[in-house]
Amino acid sequence: YQKAIVKQCHLPAETVDGYRLDVCANIELAEELVQVKDNGGQGVGLYRTEYAFFNKKKMPDEEMLYEEYTTLAEQLAPGKVILRTLDVGADKLLDEQAMLEEANPALGLRGIRFCLRYQNIFRMQLRAMLRASVHGNVSIMFPMISGLKELRQARFILNSVKSELDAEGLAYNPNIPVGIMIELPSAVMIADTLAREVDFFSIGTNDLIQYSLGIDRTNKHVSYLYQPLHPAIVRSIKYVIDAAHKEGIEASVCGEVASDPYCVPILMGMRVDGISIAPQAIPGIKRIIRQIDMEECIELLGDVLTHATVSRINTKVRKRIFKRFP
Ligand code: PEP
Ligand code: MG
């Protein structure tokens, strides 16, 4: 039975009534590419670049990163790879951050904030990403964007790095798509404005749940409150997808929610353009997508949106989905 699911994983993620979405993988090492392919991933929707910076005796240099990103681009082409710029902080600390001694690192200098402070690291990484972009279908994504100013600062630096490469005669894709993670409540609320200045959104529900519900994602004492189907989360995701579509850009989901069989049909009801999940979750989720139809998903979403409590939503969803996929 398990074998049959894996065998079918190379078929497109298309519903019974012909709605197709991108199913990509979240990975952190180039070695995981084999798993992405074996499990039927169409590309990499989230490459967590921080791992090259950890467990290393020294900081990686531009050439090392260029090689790593080029391998990904080449092996996945024509499939895409979305390279997320360094997202250190909170549970993943570099020496620079350890020195900061923040009381609340999750609310501190993490993600894009760190990169805007330590621009030499950011610029080096952007140079490597841009140079790798000529070897495949590469996009750049910024994490932890909280407002328009941060996005503009990051884009300003990206443009300045492009000019630098021009001056040195180094090749890159001048039209490289640039997207952002939507993982802070502030970004949700201004999604319409942000959508006008980027090529795509990727909704990071792991952090969005943490910051919206005020729950440390690593704290076991409050893990019972970590509820993906909290009405505030459902509405936030829908709001972001609608805002993206109004501005003509795509929105996908790259948090754990997208690998939850109970949540995927709801995301589909919102007309999500893609999902990016752990490679081993791809076959099972593709199977669900291929057996469901859009009408069903839209109806389910409509139903979910009428309920005010998580328990009601959970009961509804479980009943419906479980009936279909026991
Ligand atoms: C997220 O926040 O949902 C996400 C995908 O990114 P990470 O888990 O790396 O923070
Ligand atoms: Mg995140």
Is the shortest distance between the CB of 136 and ligand 1 below 6 Å? no
- For ligand 1, mutation pick of 207, 209, 275, 276 (most atoms within 8 Å of CB): 207
Q: Does residue 207 have a pLDDT over 90? A: yes
Ligand 1 centroid to 205 CA: how many Å?
7
Q: Is the ipTM of this complex over 0.90?
A: yes
Ligand 1 centroid distance, CA of 181 (Å):
9
Please tell me the distance between residue 48's alpha carbon and the centre of ligand 1 in angstroms. 9
Q: How far is the CA of 183 from the centre of ligand 2 (A)?
A: 6
Nearest C-alpha neighbor of 44 from the set 279, 268, 241, 283: 279
Q: What is the pLDDT of residues 73-112, one digit of tens each?
A: 999 999 999 999 999 876 666 676 666 778 888 899 899 9
Angle 10-257-273 (CA atoms, 0-180°, nearest 5)? 55
Label residue 317 by pLDDT band (50, 70, 90): confident
The radius of gyration of the chain's CA atoms, rounded to the nearest angstrom, is 20
User: Would you list the DSSP string of 22-46?
Assistant: EEEEEESSGGGHHHHHHTT--SEEE
Which residue has a Cα nearest atom 7 of ligand 1?
206
Confidence band, pLDDT 50/70/90 cuts, at residue 316: confident
d(CA 141, CA 85): 6
Measured distance CA(14)–CA(132) in Å, rounded: 31
